Structure 1
């Protein structure tokens, strides 16, 4: 079939690998309708394996890569089954993450571009899936009263058969680019119990345990995805971060550089509207790559925290290191992550010190409910936050896309380092007299509203243990104030 895609690539200017990947993703929609009609769980597992092999070997020519995925999968299966102690998940973690890192190094040595689709993409998804599975198995061996809500829901008590496990790792809708599913969710889908609570009137007439509206929602999401894909194809060549390293780019003004850009959500990985119009960086990152955020929270952040202790600086740094290795070895990732940590700290300082001044004083004084009233002042605050979020994100993401430290620094220099100046100015203000002044203003407003002045005027800045990093900024730290 390559001849068809070669002609299409020449006509559209897109790469051959990208077109074949898009074809596989679109094909998954009608195949999903076939999957739900396969009559038994065993056949569903086999169906997943066959489709996954078709995608990886026949369509994308990743035969050797498929063997590597199989090695990671079978290695995890046998480690989880035979290592009974508490170190089992960490052994799996080291095994699959080390394998992924080796392939990241190989990709870097061959200088493969984003247009080239090779095995590290599916392997990154598989790494999340396998490490999560290992923790789910370990949680299945622990006492129930030791587990939190997520751990109770996802625990694996009975070891799966090899067919069930391979069907799980081969689940075709997410094998290429994700998102991943936990094993418990996969089995409830295969066995048809995921919709057991649905009322009879809401089921399809066929008698199958599948609610109405599945296709309508799925294909609507497909259309939305294709629209955004079309925008990317049309404008991606002209508006991309590689332009930032060109000499002519520095001749443009700031506004050229900083312009932005049943619920059936069990496999949702992004919230588009929230990403595009997020009032702050935390809300934006909460809505981006959501399943990866869950993986980092459940399989790293909470697991490296000693029992009885609250997550702190050590947990944050280990989670950051995991996220960095998971993404790859390019220096640009680390520039983006480190800057993201500082941006997140500023965001928390703003929410703690500035945001209360734009809320009704009575709401602040009484520590009102989770949703503050949407006053004109609060709307102005949110709009300003959205503008600053877009501006700083476009600067912060440049190294993540340019990858090399050299190109990242060139791109930032052509942007006049505006993001660094924003961060430095904010830290100078909050670590200087700014926080104390804002706290006093809060206390005065609360007192005038007739409420107790519970604002801590002396505590001006968060300690180093509160400095979280880019991929941890997803609600991982429960002590961070809930952003509305």
Structure 2
């Protein structure tokens, strides 16, 4: 089938593997419309459909024969481990088994120095790792007393172990197989059984359970995804983070270098916007992502989203940005790492945070740039939490009052600093090596480290006490005027969201 892709790759100027990947994502659209036509009364056909399409992608199109059987080994190993082993450490054994397999392939990729244009096992294996480890925790939660579970664990717990066919259908759900986003087993079975549709007062066309509006949203996603992809193809070859390593970049003034980096950052992110938006649309066509009806009765399909572009490009703070970036991976890290490494009865703290950041970097691969990016992201999260707890309460308006000028100024400054830090911290992830990362940071005057270091020094050497006194004075003044002061409760660790996962257009690096 390469004869279909080589001419197009030559025209576009991309690798054949990249063209194949995008083609699979686009073919998933009409296949999604076929999938949803299989009635919920025949779930076995839906599972078989998922497996068959995944085989179609991996064998005749991508020619990843060995890769598929490696993924199948992880699937079968997880299935039988979770089914027959009931020990309390079962989820961690599954985690080590699946993550260890992924790491071996990351090392192999690094040894052979495969570029990000080359599509091989690690890309889909990263998605599958999230699925399988989440499933292991869901099974574990299904064997625990309901009183010991939180809301997410109660909703996602697996109490009836699936058949092998059901598990294969879940593992090889075709729209998200190559680049994600991943879904948990409970959501997959809701999709198969159309559970989320059955209580709707309004049915779709011809009396079907699936509500109307799905295609409109899905193909709009496809259009936006293609626009993002077009921007990246046209501009990404020249305007990317590697520009910092060129002689031309050194000839520019420091301010101009920093400004250029803020312009290339969004272009670099376009490839992620493209693939995640394309897979979201295909997932919606299968029925995934339905979140209810709007007040006007319009169907909402936001449950399969993995990225919110406008929030990322215009964030008011770093936490808001992280919440909008690679959403499904954030959920996985929060539910399967961050909360699980926290001792029972204790609140998550610094140790839980750093283990989560480390896991995220480890999941992406072994390149030093990943660890520099996530370590920097950890410190950015820390100063963001400090600003939110100490400065933000002072600019919040009184209850019922409109936002003040100070609040608007706080949001504008927060957006600027957040984007500056995002593009600074993300560069090692794209550059991959520590040498290139530190060279780039040096050519940018280490402005990110200056912001981070200056902020932490300020807060730890009296800034926190100063703002707490200001909050106390504001609260006292509010009481005299007869209204409650804005809440000044610090942002706790439970609101922590893990760092962004800067996945490559095709499997990263290395």
The answer to whether structure 1 residue 169 and structure 2 residue 198 are counterparts is no
The answer to whether structure 1 residue 419 and structure 2 residue 448 are counterparts is yes
Matches within 5 A, 1:174-189: 174-189=176-191
SS of the residue aligned with 2:479? coil
Q: Please identify, of 377-386 and 124-133, the stretch whose mean Cα deviation from structure 2 is larger.
A: 377-386
The answer to whether structure 1 residue 385 and structure 2 residue 422 are counterparts is no
The answer to whether structure 1 residue 158 and structure 2 residue 187 are counterparts is no
Change (3 A) 1:183 1:446: same
The answer to whether structure 1 residue 403 and structure 2 residue 405 are counterparts is no
Change (3 A) 1:225 1:467: closer
Aligned to 1:450: 479
Aligned to 2:24: 24
Partners of 2:334 and 2:497 within 8 A in 1: no
Runs of 5+ in structure 1 lacking a partner? 474-484
Aligned to 2:247: 247
Deviation string, structure 1 residues 115-134 (Cα, Å, up to 9, x no partner): 11111000000000000111
SS of the residue aligned with 1:449? helix
2:62 equivalent among 54, 60, 63: 60
1:114 equivalent among 113, 116, 125: 116
Aligned to 1:101: 103
Query: Aligned-pair distance for 1:320?
Result: 2.2
Structure 1 Cα separation of the partners of residues 416 and 361 of structure 2: 28
Query: Aligned-pair distance for 1:61?
Result: 1.1
Aligned to 1:84: 86
Partners of 2:82 and 2:90 within 8 A in 1: yes
Change (3 A) 1:209 1:456: closer
Q: Please identify, of 93-102 and 378-387, the stretch whose mean Cα deviation from structure 2 is larger.
A: 378-387
Partners of 1:316 and 1:469 within 8 A in 2: no
RMSD of Structure 2 on Structure 1 (CA): 2.4
Structure 2 Cα separation of the partners of residues 395 and 88 of structure 1: 39
Change (3 A) 1:86 1:23: same
Matches within 5 A, 1:33-72: 33-39=33-39, 40-72=42-74
Change (3 A) 1:470 1:251: farther
1:273 equivalent among 310, 314, 320: 310
Change (3 A) 1:26 1:68: same
Matches within 5 A, 1:275-354: 275-354=312-391
Q: Please identify, of 160-169 and 444-453, the stretch whose mean Cα deviation from structure 2 is larger.
A: 444-453
Structure 2 Cα separation of the partners of residues 437 and 163 of structure 1: 61
Query: Aligned-pair distance for 1:12?
Result: 1.1
Q: Please identify, of 186-195 and 249-258, the stretch whose mean Cα deviation from structure 2 is larger.
A: 249-258
Partners of 2:323 and 2:497 within 8 A in 1: no
Structure 1 Cα separation of the partners of residues 125 and 134 of structure 2: 14
Q: Please identify, of 306-315 and 21-30, the stretch whose mean Cα deviation from structure 2 is larger.
A: 306-315
Partners of 1:395 and 1:412 within 8 A in 2: yes
Aligned to 1:257: 261
Change (3 A) 1:251 1:266: same
SS of the residue aligned with 2:197? coil
Query: Aligned-pair distance for 1:438?
Result: 2.5
More contact order relative to length (CA 8 Å, sep ≥ 6): 2
Structure 1 Cα separation of the partners of residues 194 and 33 of structure 2: 14
Partners of 2:347 and 2:494 within 8 A in 1: no
Q: Please identify, of 242-251 and 385-394, the stretch whose mean Cα deviation from structure 2 is larger.
A: 242-251
Partners of 1:296 and 1:472 within 8 A in 2: no
TM-score (norm 2): 0.85
Query: Aligned-pair distance for 1:468?
Result: 7.0
Change (3 A) 1:187 1:250: same
Partners of 2:326 and 2:500 within 8 A in 1: no
SS of the residue aligned with 1:64? helix
Structure 1 Cα separation of the partners of residues 350 and 386 of structure 2: 17
SS of the residue aligned with 1:206? helix
Displacement over 4 Å in runs of 4+: 451-457, 465-470
Deviation string, structure 1 residues 170-202 (Cα, Å, up to 9, x no partner): 100100000111111111111121212211xx3
Query: Aligned-pair distance for 1:66?
Result: 0.3
TM-score (norm 1): 0.90
Query: Aligned-pair distance for 1:453?
Result: 10
Query: Aligned-pair distance for 1:456?
Result: 12
Q: Please identify, of 312-321 and 274-283, the stretch whose mean Cα deviation from structure 2 is larger.
A: 312-321
Runs of 5+ in structure 2 lacking a partner? 267-291, 293-299, 502-510
Deviation string, structure 1 residues 186-241 (Cα, Å, up to 9, x no partner): 11111121212211xx3212222101101111111111111111111111111111
Partners of 1:41 and 1:190 within 8 A in 2: yes
Structure 1 Cα separation of the partners of residues 407 and 48 of structure 2: 54
Partners of 1:203 and 1:210 within 8 A in 2: yes
SS of the residue aligned with 1:308? coil
Change (3 A) 1:319 1:353: same
Change (3 A) 1:462 1:265: closer
Change (3 A) 1:472 1:90: farther
